[in-house]
Amino acid sequence: MHSPVIHELFRSLDLPPTAAGQLDWVTGIYRINRTVAEWQAYFANQGSDRDMTLTLAHEMQHFLQISSLSYLHRFASLLYYSIAEVVTACYNHMSALPATLSENKAVRDAVWDLQWREADGVSVIDIVESLTYFFEVNADNPVTTSAYVALLNDADDLPDEYKRAFRYLYERGGRNGATAALFEILCHMSLCSATPRECFAMLAARLRSGDVNVNMTFGEIVAFCEKNDPHHWGFAWDWRQRLGAAFPQHPVFGSLETAIRDETMSNNFIKYLLSPHQFFDPFLQLALGPPILFNPSSDWTAAGFNEWPLDVGLALRNATAEEKRKRGMWYLYMAAASRKYLGAFGTPPATVRLIRP
């Protein structure tokens, strides 16, 4: 008989019917709203399930964003180590998990900052989700600024966080025709700041003035942000290098840093930052590294925690069966604990791709 505590914890991992997929920021787990049978059928004939392809691509974008962009990387790392400390202490007795992390002010402030927006501004989540939806739309056929504005205006069923940042940049940037060409890199630069909202507003104003323009190189855009954003952190590895050993490496979101030590991958990464919808392919295998969690058995009310099917991901593909079991259980405990604790501070940070009609 499995513990009622485990049952209750793991119920939080279920997805609502409106969500096609989700990336858990704390663990890096992809949560896909499909069964293992559907997953296996997808790989037998990938062309038969375009929604699965788009869901994976959407969530893998979030994986690369958190791996490389310092604000998001710091956020995920802070949450991981705060929750890992509690789960480690209670791993063999999960009923001893404390009720909340409410005393952890750093976590509470971080979750609040991720979601906060002024009445006419954007939140960090707005920037992240608008960026990723833009990638999704442009993956096959890149659209012009005017066409994308029209598309967003017609998408009545699309949540505002998927639209808000592009509309903000377009309007505050003087309805600049180059908004679509610059949107991805300006989002990336904003998320390399300790204050993404303020950086994004500054870049919008400079787009209007012409100080930021489509003729700038990657190096010029980075240098511009370093000069004009007093809180610019750079990429995740730049920020962490300045901190030194005081802030440990996130165990899941560190693989990109290792990959781009190769000169070819480093050059590909620059291209990716400028236009991820065109230069995602070199990072596909890397983004398939984390575990993928599928829907539990249909008899969920009677199933134990070991009935949740988990693909350990490419990073653990060659590990021993025992190592896969241990690491898999750790990921599941951590993901469930993140749901338990972070919901108390606001909407838990798990970026979601919606099921689209």
Of 186, 215, 193, whose CA–CA distance to 72 is shortest?
193
pLDDT at 15 over 90: no
Per-residue pLDDT, 213: 97
CB 114 within 8 A of CB 64: no
Amino acid making up residue 198: E
Query: Residue 31 forms beta bridges with which residues?
Result: 22, 293
Per-residue pLDDT, 1: 37
pLDDT at 349 over 60: no
Per-residue pLDDT, 172: 97
Average pLDDT on 40-44 reads 86
pTM of the model: 0.91
Other beta carbons within 10 Å of 266: 11
pLDDT, tens only, 121-153: 999 999 999 999 999 899 878 899 999 999 999
Per-residue pLDDT, 36: 87
Question: What mean pLDDT value characterizes the chain?
Answer: 88
In percent, how much of the chain has pLDDT > 70?
Answer: 91
Distance CA 357, CA 344 (A): 31
pLDDT at 192 over 50: yes
Average pLDDT on 272-301 reads 87
Cα 336 to Cα 73, 83, 333, distances in angstroms: 20, 10, 5
Of 199, 247, 330, whose CA–CA distance to 73 is shortest?
247
Of 29, 130, 62, 126, whose CA–CA distance to 280 is shortest?
62
Domain, as residue range, for 247: 4-354
Which residues, in sequence order, are CB contacts of 59 under 8 Å at separation 6+?
21, 22, 23, 30, 32, 351, 353
Q: How many domains does the chain have?
A: 1
pLDDT at 348 over 50: no
Of 10, 111, 104, whose CA–CA distance to 350 is shortest?
111
Which residues, in sequence order, are CB contacts of 174 under 8 Å at separation 6+?
207, 208
Backbone angles phi, psi at 215, to 5 degrees: -85, -5
pLDDT, tens only, 107-121: 888 888 988 999 899
Distance CA 24, CA 20 (A): 13
Tokens encoding 69: 């962009």
Distance CA 291, CA 22 (A): 12
pLDDT, tens only, 66-87: 999 999 999 999 989 989 998 9
Instruction: Give the relative orientation of helices 179-190 and 145-154 as an angle to the nearest 10 degrees.
Output: 80
Strands 292-293 and 30-32: parallel
Other beta carbons within 10 Å of 194: 16
Average pLDDT on 174-182 reads 97
Per-residue pLDDT, 260: 94
Query: Residue 351 forms beta bridges with which residues?
Result: 23
Among 43-57, 215-229, 255-269, the range scoring the smallest mean pLDDT is: 43-57
Per-residue pLDDT, 44: 85
The tokens 């908004």 sit on which residue? 179
Distance CA 269, CA 276 (A): 9
Structure confidence at residue 220 as a pLDDT band (50, 70, 90)? very high
CB 88 within 8 A of CB 319: no
DSSP state of 98: -
DSSP state of 250: P
CB 110 within 8 A of CB 276: no
